[in-house]
Amino acid sequence: MNYEPSSPLVSRLPPGLHVFFTPRQTGPEAKVCDALRQLFSPDLKCHSVHQSFSSPPILSGRFSSAATYQYYQPLPSILHFQTWLAKEFCPGEFAGRCPNEAASLAYASYVDIDFDAISHAVTATAVWRAGIAPKAGVDHLRAEKVKDGDRLEVGVLMPEKPGDDKPESLKLGGWLAVAGEDDHASKYRYAKPINPRADDLSEPTVFSFPSRHHPLPRANPLTFTSSFNQPTGLHPEIVLSFPSQHLKPPKDEPSCALHTYLTLPSALFLDQYQLEDPALLAANNLIAIRSLSGEQDLEAPDWVVTQWGSAALIELASPPTKTANTWNVTIPTHLRYLGSPETENGSAIHHVDLHLPVPIVFWACKAEEGLKMSVNPFDRVNLGYDGLFGPKTMFYHVPAASPTDADASPFLELELKVPVMETRWGGIVQAGTLVTVVVGFLMVAVGLFRGLGGETNRRKGSKGAKKA
């Protein structure tokens, strides 16, 4: 669902299942695909790490947290994951707090799961947008230890305005407490614990740390909408639309550049050579394609592609002057041939619905020298695009238009109706294609021989005329 992120949780990814994986240096290949099918869906297009995952190009070697492999699949529901979670952690329970918490994940804006192979620690993070508690069946917040030996730390924090001398920092105020150890909330100021008296708990508590991900300034209400140019045909064009009067960098810094990051399923792809044409880039308000990874075969049909798809980072142009018009950026894509799935009664269909995640848009700006980005406890890494920039890059995220705006989808996805062919006609099409190619080759060859024969006759005639 489309949601308005709250600081410091402002980083974004296109909706769907994203997996970033770095294998160990030694040992057999991890059975990641088996785990993904067990956790999320048995229908995932995942065979093995080497077949189905892609390797993003890392442009900055100093960014050591970037993952080696990447995988993506659209995932309209996490019901399969919720069911597995309830079976594993709530055995025999069909009602109560534990299964209810698993069910509440259906309303989460995003769920992050991180596994550290060295410490064998699993960190799970779920984020709900404001006002979702009644829909998720949560009337109040309650945190409990699962086992007596567990450590439970509870924090109540609110974003605050950073100081004018630290515009690249995020600032949070509130209280922290460790369950079973503190009889009242402990106050922290700039990450240093202070033991407060019971009567001074109303004093502000502050965390301040530099951050890579930021929302746009309040004075810049920039949003964007996305759509397909109609009619789409077999070469759909993604259009990103911006209000020109708000399309300005968040910082007065010449290094700031507007980017979009796309994750395209295997049925859709970009032509890298087409996007290297300066005339086409200028006509579509594009600067350059900065990175393209994943499946790039321009001819293969979808049913023979083993990789999940492709990811692209594209730098966008902005209007040279402020106008009241809409600024449109067009990204040309191409469809692969899709097979026609059979219905329950055995008949075939002629169109399938392809769901494409709405790309994310952000300004990438250079941070101040000497700023340490590694101290943010809320930072998210391995987002696919962050490793394509240097470690001193700040991302100012442009939100998608809210559902109340015109032509905006609340589900952050674009739907495309794709014509497909019945698979039983595949052999006939292959044979027909082969015959057409052979006949065309013979026609060209005959034309060349005729032209060569005519040229030879003309040369003989000219020599006879000279002798005469």
pLDDT at 199 over 50: no
H or E element, residue 354: strand 351-357
* Residue-level pLDDT at 441: 92
**What's the predicted TM-score (pTM) here?**
0.80
Confidence band for 238, pLDDT divided at 50, 70 and 90: very high
The dihedral through the CA atoms of 6, 7, 8, 13 has a sign that is positive
Confidence band for 363, pLDDT divided at 50, 70 and 90: very high
Please state the three-class secondary structure of 156-224 as a single string: EEEEECCCCCCCCEEEEEEEEEECCCCCCCEEEECCEEECCCHHHCCCCCEEEEECCEEECCCCCCCCE
Q: Do 216 and 200 contact (CB within 8 A), yes or no?
A: no
**Proportion of the chain above pLDDT 70, given as a percent:** 75
Calpha distance 344→226 (Å, rounded): 34
Range in 192-196, 335-339, 351-355, 439-443 the model is least confident about: 192-196
Instruction: Specify the residue for token string 């960014």.
Output: 63
CA atoms within 13 A on the CB side of 248: 12
Q: Do 238 and 275 contact (CB within 8 A), yes or no?
A: no
* Residue-level pLDDT at 408: 46
H or E element, residue 110: strand 110-116
* Residue-level pLDDT at 196: 39
Average pLDDT taken over every residue of the chain:
79
Pairing of strands 421-422, 237-243: unpaired
Q: Do 409 and 14 contact (CB within 8 A), yes or no?
A: no
Confidence band for 135, pLDDT divided at 50, 70 and 90: low
Across 370-390, average pLDDT: 78
Range in 59-63, 182-186, 273-277 the model is least confident about: 59-63
* Residue-level pLDDT at 139: 52
* Residue-level pLDDT at 25: 66
* Residue-level pLDDT at 38: 92
The pLDDT tens digits of the residues spanning 140-175 come to 566 677 677 778 887 777 777 776 666 677 778 887
Confidence band for 334, pLDDT divided at 50, 70 and 90: very high
The pLDDT tens digits of the residues spanning 8-18 come to 788 888 889 99
**Token output for 197:** 């008296």
Range in 21-35, 84-98, 297-311, 432-446 the model is least confident about: 21-35
Calpha distance 415→367 (Å, rounded): 37
Across 35-49, average pLDDT: 91
Calpha distance 11→212 (Å, rounded): 9
The DSSP bridge partners found for residue 206 are: 173, 189
Range in 17-21, 148-152, 285-289, 367-371 the model is least confident about: 367-371
* Residue-level pLDDT at 436: 92
Which residue did the predictor score with more confidence, 259 or 197? 259
* Residue-level pLDDT at 201: 40
Which residue did the predictor score with more confidence, 84 or 195? 84
Across 363-389, average pLDDT: 79
User: Mean pLDDT highest for which of 54-58, 182-186, 314-318, 421-425?
Assistant: 314-318
The pLDDT tens digits of the residues spanning 109-132 come to 889 998 877 788 888 888 887 766
**Proportion of the chain above pLDDT 90, given as a percent:** 24
**Token output for 160:** 């605050």
* Residue-level pLDDT at 282: 94
Which residue did the predictor score with more confidence, 211 or 136? 211
